[in-house]
């Protein structure tokens, strides 16, 4: 009996035991390997009073609702083959697709908003998601909630809205499989067309401010997309769709991108500049805004170059009586191996100097370098000035000197390099998981994935602490 209580199948109230799912149709919920870990249950008759239509097993040591998608274990191989996944809302919707249409590449979020874990499972098998929701207000809101999350994860998102009041199960029963497939093929929209249709249908030409807000909301979705080329193409489409100059949309895009990547530290700096003006300040952009304006697409080599630039420019700043900045940075880097040939040359040079003489004098090091390495070093040290002029000219942004924040600046760039390297390993491991594997091999790779995700979370916590200062 204790096992039944722990598994959530029965409820114990003192000496009495109750069947949690009595009078309901039960749906077994499987984990990604096809093992039953929980149940959902639906009333067989009209729901009376406050009794919910569906109930689920409580969370247990083997069941975490936000980490599972209904039907995923049966759908994953077909999702991989088709490179597309249909995401629906309910358990019966998945079953209707399977048994009445013959489509297996269908899963359900089962009443929860999409989580990082659920999107991570899907991303291992496809980059394309088609949302199939009821066309009523609740269904539309559910689709709107999911779009930006999926875009930010790197998915190509399409939407199919069914007639109001219909779900896949009910609509299939009403019109049959052939007509249903025809409807799906003709009702599918990309996220811009869907959002434009919905948002502008709820505004009027007599309210241009509301229309402008709708367009900004669509551009905000475009900002979430990691890939630069895809963003550019969607901005062009948005421009044509609304007959708005692309330059205006691009300006809005940069404004929203600026907000999305703002940190409390940068906000404090902007506030300082607004209060004191820009006339007496050096026109230097905070290098972090520059290099991390789109953190998802920043290359590993760019982080390496920024690390070496900080070492060259501020390496001899004393963090304490016993430690220079360059010493702290080298310790924090540990055994990370650089990839950029230029950074490897500089890093190896400094390590040799440290091994020979202890303390590094940056200027003496520059004097002692051969001309090839010296040119690389000087180019790196000069880079903020060259880039800052372009940045200021384009956006009119000025910041206070970066030396005021040199410790946080150096730690942040190293942590961003580390998290980028871990994310690369996660992606490689995810690719391996999409292959045909033995159960043992899959379990090993899943353990590797969990370990890498733990490392990513650990670094992200440190990074969040730094950014928040």
Kindly list the domain boundaries of the chain, sorted by start residue: 2-61, 67-187, 199-260, 266-468
Residue 187: Cβ-neighbour burial (10 angstroms; 0-12, 13-18, 19+): middle
Task: Answer for the pair 133, 88: CB distance below 8 angstroms, yes or no.
Answer: yes
CA distance 132 to 87: 6
CA distance 183 to 191: 18
CA distance 320 to 75: 57
Helices vs strands, H then E, count in the chain: 20, 10
pLDDT on residue 466: 45
For domain 2-61, the CATH architecture is Alpha-Beta Complex (3.90)
| Strands 10-13, 16-19: pairing kind | antiparallel
Residue 438: Cβ-neighbour burial (10 angstroms; 0-12, 13-18, 19+): exposed
CA distances (Å), origin 259, targets 252, 253, 270, 415, 449: 11, 10, 12, 22, 32
For domain 67-187, the CATH architecture is 3-Layer(aba) Sandwich (3.40)
Angle at CA of residue 351, ends 348 and 353, nearest 5°? 110
SS3 396: coil
pTM over 0.85? The answer is: no
Angle at CA of residue 113, ends 109 and 117, nearest 5°? 75
CA distances (Å), origin 425, targets 236, 339, 418, 446: 34, 15, 11, 13
Q: What is the pLDDT along the chain (469 residues), one digit of tens a residue?
A: 777 777 778 887 777 888 888 888 899 999 888 899 988 888 877 655 566 778 888 888 888 888 899 999 999 999 999 999 999 988 999 999 999 999 999 999 876 678 888 888 898 899 999 999 887 777 787 788 888 889 888 899 999 999 988 989 999 999 999 999 999 999 999 999 888 887 777 776 667 888 888 888 899 888 888 777 888 889 899 888 888 888 888 888 888 876 654 444 344 334 433 433 333 333 333 333 333 333 333 578 888 888 888 887 777 777 777 777 878 888 888 878 888 887 887 777 777 666 555 555 555 566 666 677 677 777 666 544 333 444 344 433 333 455 557 788 888 889 989 998 998 898 888 888 888 888 788 888 888 888 888 888 888 888 774 443 3
CA distance 69 to 373: 54
CA distance 94 to 208: 41
CA distance 95 to 29: 13
Other residues' Cβ atoms within 10 Å of the Cβ of residue 39? 19
| Length in residues, the chain | 469
Name the DSSP class of 226: -
Name the DSSP class of 33: T
SS3 132: strand
CA distance 161 to 66: 24
Task: Answer for the pair 68, 85: CB distance below 8 angstroms, yes or no.
Answer: no
CA distance 437 to 80: 14
């Amino acid at each position: 009996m204790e096992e039944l209580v722990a598994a959530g199948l029965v409820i114990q109230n003192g000496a009495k035991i109750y069947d949690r799912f009595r009078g309901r149709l039960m749906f077994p919920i499987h984990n990604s390997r096809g093992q039953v870990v929980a149940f959902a249950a639906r009333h067989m008759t009209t729901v009376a009073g406050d009794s919910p239509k569906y109930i689920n097993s409580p969370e247990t040591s083997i069941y975490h609702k936000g980490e599972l998608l209904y039907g995923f274990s049966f759908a994953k191989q077909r999702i991989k083959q088709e490179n597309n996944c249909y995401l629906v809302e309910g358990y019966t919707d998945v079953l209707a697709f399977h048994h009445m249409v013959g489509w297996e590449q269908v899963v359900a979020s089962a009443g929860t908003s999409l989580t990082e874990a659920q999107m991570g499972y899907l991303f291992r098998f496809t980059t394309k998601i088609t949302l199939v929701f009821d066309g009523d207000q609740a269904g539309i809101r559910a689709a709107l909630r999911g779009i930006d999350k999926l875009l930010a994860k790197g998915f190509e998102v399409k939407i199919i809205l069914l007639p109001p009041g219909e779900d896949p199960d009910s609509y299939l029963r009403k019109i049959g499989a052939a007509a249903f497939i025809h409807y799906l093929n003709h009702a599918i929209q990309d996220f811009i067309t869907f959002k434009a249709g919905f948002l502008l249908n709820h505004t009027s030409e007599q309210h241009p401010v509301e229309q402008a807000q709708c367009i900004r909301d669509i551009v905000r979705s475009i900002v979430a997309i990691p890939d630069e080329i895809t963003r550019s193409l969607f901005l062009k489409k948005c421009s044509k769709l609304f007959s708005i100059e692309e330059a205006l949309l691009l300006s809005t895009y940069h404004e929203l991108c600026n907000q999305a990547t703002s940190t409390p530290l940068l906000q404090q700096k902007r506030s300082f500049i607004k209060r004191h003006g820009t006339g007496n300040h050096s026109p230097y952009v905070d290098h972090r805004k520059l290099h991390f304006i789109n953190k998802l697409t920043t290359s590993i080599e760019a982080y390496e170059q920024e690390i070496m630039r900080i070492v060259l420019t501020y390496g001899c700043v004393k963090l304490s009586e016993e430690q220079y900045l360059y010493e702290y940075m080298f310790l924090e880097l540990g055994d990370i191996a650089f990839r950029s040939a230029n950074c490897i040359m500089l890093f190896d040079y400094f390590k040799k100097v440290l091994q020979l003489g202890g303390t590094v004098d940056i200027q003496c090091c520059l004097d002692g370098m051969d001309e090839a390495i010296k040119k690389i070093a000087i180019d790196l040290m000069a880079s903020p000035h060259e880039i800052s002029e372009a940045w200021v000219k384009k956006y009119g942004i000025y910041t206070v000197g970066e030396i005021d924040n040199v410790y946080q600046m150096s730690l942040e760039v190293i942590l961003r390099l580390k998290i980028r390297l871990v994310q690369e390993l996660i992606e490689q491991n995810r690719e391996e998981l999409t292959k045909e594997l033995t159960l043992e091999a899959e379990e090993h790779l899943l353990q590797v994935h969990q370990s890498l995700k733990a490392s990513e979370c650990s670094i992200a916590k440190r990074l969040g602490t730094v950014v928040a200062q």
